[in-house]
Amino acid sequence: MKRIILSIVCLVAMGGLFSQASAQEGKVVYEEVMKLDIQIEGDGAQFADMLPKERKSSKVLLFNSDVSLYENNKDKESAEDIAMEHGGAMVMMKMAEPNNKFYINFDKQKTIEKKEFMTRSFLIEGKVEASGWKLTGEQKNLLEYPCQKAVKTDDEGKETIAWFTASIPVSAGPGSFIGLPGLVLAVEMNDGEHTIMAQSVEMMDIAKDKLAKPKGGKKVNQEEFDIIVAEKMKEMGAQEGEAGGTFIMKIER
């Protein structure tokens, strides 16, 4: 009778271990690098060569098999002030990383994107779109994970490359770069103009409150948000970065 009881206890313990091992959740830290081509007209044109040529930022992806959340890395400062002097004029340039978030519910196939723009917050709800990825068969290791290459081309003929690992079988990735049979660790867009590269992967339990839906903002659809941005940019005479960053230049004499 004792042997039977011991066998049952061992099976229960093994079941618990298997459940923990099969749980797929964790945290990925990415570095985003975006090449900048800031066009300046009028009095500020003389400063064009003095401006930074790229923008780096640190992002974090929290995920489990049901949802994911991609946001700024709170452990690293993302705002940058640049001061330049030329010919008696002082140029102050502020490069601010908006506190954007991208939330995905894989079960419901829904997305919620929170975007900050000109001190206002917006919530853009949408659906997970068809991925359109095509596997190439190419392979390489990233952070000691075996990865496969996938590509897709948009309506304008621009190609996006993603490297994903089937070793972590979740369809998550940085932002909207999902839909592959494994976690996306690297993305390259527009011939390297915009890259996203995983710096670390940590498989760990993620508290549910850390994966909560973004809140606080005006609910709009993507078309409405694009119109708001275009109108405000035209009014301000500023330039919007590809990832939503805003560059504002002030010239003081």
pLDDT tens for each residue of 156-185: 889 999 999 999 999 999 999 999 999 999
pLDDT of res. 41: 59
Instruction: Pick the most confident of 31-40, 44-53, 80-89, 193-202.
Output: 193-202
Interatomic CA distance for residues 155 and 15, integer angstroms: 48
Interatomic CA distance for residues 37 and 48, integer angstroms: 9
pLDDT of res. 234: 80
pLDDT of res. 28: 98
Average pLDDT, the chain: 80
Contacts of 244 (CB under 8 A, 6+ apart): 98, 100, 115, 117
Interatomic CA distance for residues 90 and 213, integer angstroms: 42
| DSSP letter for each residue of 170-198 | ----STT---SSSEEEEEEEGGGTEEEEE
Task: Specify the CATH number for 25-252; select among 1.10.520, 3.40.50, 3.90.320, 2.50.20.
Answer: 2.50.20
Q: Is the distance from CB of 208 to CB of 218 less than 8 angstroms?
A: no
Average pLDDT over residues 198-204: 97
Q: For 228, how many CA atoms within 13 A lie in the half-sphere containing its CB? A: 18
Which segments of the chain are extended strands (E)? 26-35, 54-63, 67-72, 80-86, 89-96, 101-105, 110-117, 120-127, 134-142, 145-153, 159-165, 183-189, 194-203, 218-220, 239-240, 246-252
Buried-exposed string 68-96: b where 16+ CB fall within 10 A, e elsewhere: bbbbbbeeeebeeeeebeeeeeebebebe
Q: Residue 23 — pLDDT band, cuts 50, 70, 90?
A: low
Average pLDDT over residues 134-155: 96
| DSSP letter for each residue of 185-242 | EEEEEGGGTEEEEEEEEEE----GGGGPPP-SSEEE-HHHHHHHHHHHHHHHT-EE-T
Cβ neighbour number for residue 60 with a 10 Å cutoff: 19
Cβ neighbour number for residue 250 with a 10 Å cutoff: 10
Contacts of 109 (CB under 8 A, 6+ apart): 127, 128
Return the amino acid letter for 34.
M
* pLDDT tens figures, 79-135: 555 565 655 666 666 666 788 999 999 999 999 999 988 888 999 999 998 779 999
Interatomic CA distance for residues 68 and 10, integer angstroms: 34
Q: Is the distance from CB of 174 to CB of 164 less than 8 angstroms?
A: no
pLDDT of res. 152: 95
pLDDT of res. 249: 45
Domain limits, the chain: 25-252
* pLDDT tens figures, 211-238: 999 998 999 988 999 999 888 888 766 5
DSSP tag of 6: H
Prediction pTM value:
0.76
pLDDT of res. 49: 64
